[in-house]
Amino acid sequence: MSRKTMVRPGGRSARVQASVHAAVRELEAEVGREALTVPLVATRAGVTPSTIYRRWGDLRELLSDVAVERLRPDAAPVDKGSLSSDLVAWAEQFLEEMAAPSGRAYIRDALLGDPDGSNAGQCSAYAAEQIDVVLDRAAGRAETAPDVETVLDHVVAPIMYRILFRPDGLDAAYARGLVAGLVGPADR
């Protein structure tokens, strides 16, 4: 388990995390990420560098934690009235966000400073939670639906694989094609 999973909301530890994350986001915007250093982040966050080293290990692990926070979905998938339409809408948005320069940078950061794999696992868990919402709605409409692992294999995995390894030709039509191959074309 990564260190951050031991953080209790509201405590000093949570306040330190919030101020350090905020310092990273501000400084990235102001001076660019290449200029980030642990002492710079510490000064902005009002903590000592050793607080950061103790908690995160190094800058790369801190950037990984910040990236995962930024990859957290901020809303439930939209309800378009059918499984295929919901999945198409979700997949198009997922691809758009992840394939954008900021999304690629966050995915990269999340993977790079993640020695135990917990941040990468969290990225996948976010996608699985969103898909679960879509599949639960389909079940409520008595639609036949694949399970979440199948959607991860057929929709999420190809998108993430191509972003990382084979980035040409990634567009909304590609996302729609993946969904259509799994559940048929969107009906509205």
Cβ distance to its own copies smaller for residue 81 or 167: 167
State the Cα–Cα distance between residues 159 and 172, nearest whole angstrom.
Answer: 11
Min dist CB 120 to its own copies, Å, is 5
Nearest to 160 by CA among 117, 110, 99: 99
Min dist CB 158 to its own copies, Å, is 4
DSSP 6: G
Residues 130 and 62 sit within 8 Å (Cβ to Cβ): no
Min dist CB 140 to its own copies, Å, is 26
Cβ distance to its own copies smaller for residue 167 or 185: 167
Q: Which residue has the tokens 């909301």?
A: 9
State the Cα–Cα distance between residues 186 and 28, nearest whole angstrom.
Answer: 39
Binding site for its own copies (CB under 8 A): 108, 111-112, 117, 120-121, 123-124, 152-154, 156-158, 160-162, 164-167, 178
Min dist CB 117 to its own copies, Å, is 7
Cβ distance to its own copies smaller for residue 54 or 166: 166
Helix, strand, coil shares, percent, the chain, to 5: 75, 0, 25
Min dist CB 165 to its own copies, Å, is 4
- 178's tokens: 């993946």
Cβ distance to its own copies smaller for residue 70 or 154: 154
Cβ distance to its own copies smaller for residue 25 or 60: 60
